[in-house]
Amino acid sequence: MKRFLNIFFILHFLLFLFAVNLHSQVSQPVSAIGHVIAEVIPVFTASETSQLNFGRFAPGPQGGEIIITPESTISVLGSVYNAPGIHNAASFYLSGDPNATYSINLPSAPVILTNVSNAKTMQIRDWMSIPASGFGTGLLRNGFQIVYVGATLKVGTLVDNPVGIYTGTYNITFDFN
């Protein structure tokens, strides 16, 4: 019987060691800390800082054109007399994420200017800009850039375009890439 008890205790002891060993091999939950990052970038903005201004002029007997380049250089073609005064290209201040690229889309159809007194009209066409229009042509160095815009104003005769102030609006799209 003593031998039976020794075997019984040895078996129980071995079962106990087996159970302890089995319990230690079961995987324990482990936790870790994860990190998250998010970056808020500047909002892209565009605002007009100066209006496109063809200045003061008088139509001649055949009419003509006034061209304002993006550098604010003026050229007059045809029978248009350019009077002294202010003329300039438009400018737009763009801001946003530093070194972001953008595209410029200028008006593709003529833009109409209307005389505020009598509803007579003139057309603006042949838009140009610095940087040039097109896909990805602009770059926001240090988070900003100024875009200059010029165009050609088609002027009729004095009958077509009587004395007065002519105004209008146009859309330029800056598509940030």
Provide block-wise average pLDDT over 10 residues at a time, the chain (177 residues): 60 58 67 90 90 96 96 96 94 94 95 95 97 93 95 96 96 92
pLDDT at 14: 60
Residue 63 located in a structural domain: yes
Print the domain residue range for 85: 45-176
Report the domain count for the chain.
1
Residue 3 located in a structural domain: no
Residue 129 located in a structural domain: yes
Contact 112, 97 (CB under 8 A): no
pLDDT at 3: 64
Q: CA angle, corner 94, sides to 91 and 96, nearest 5?
A: 175
Residue 116 located in a structural domain: yes
Residue 115 located in a structural domain: yes
Q: How far apart are CA 106 and CA 96, in angstroms?
A: 20
Strand order of the β-sheet with 101-105 is 134-139, 101-105, 173-176
Residue 62 located in a structural domain: yes
pLDDT at 41: 75
Residue 39 located in a structural domain: no
pLDDT at 39: 82
**Residue 47 tokens, joined:** 């605002």
DSSP-assigned beta bridge partners for residue 59:
80
Residue 98 located in a structural domain: yes
pTM of the model: 0.77
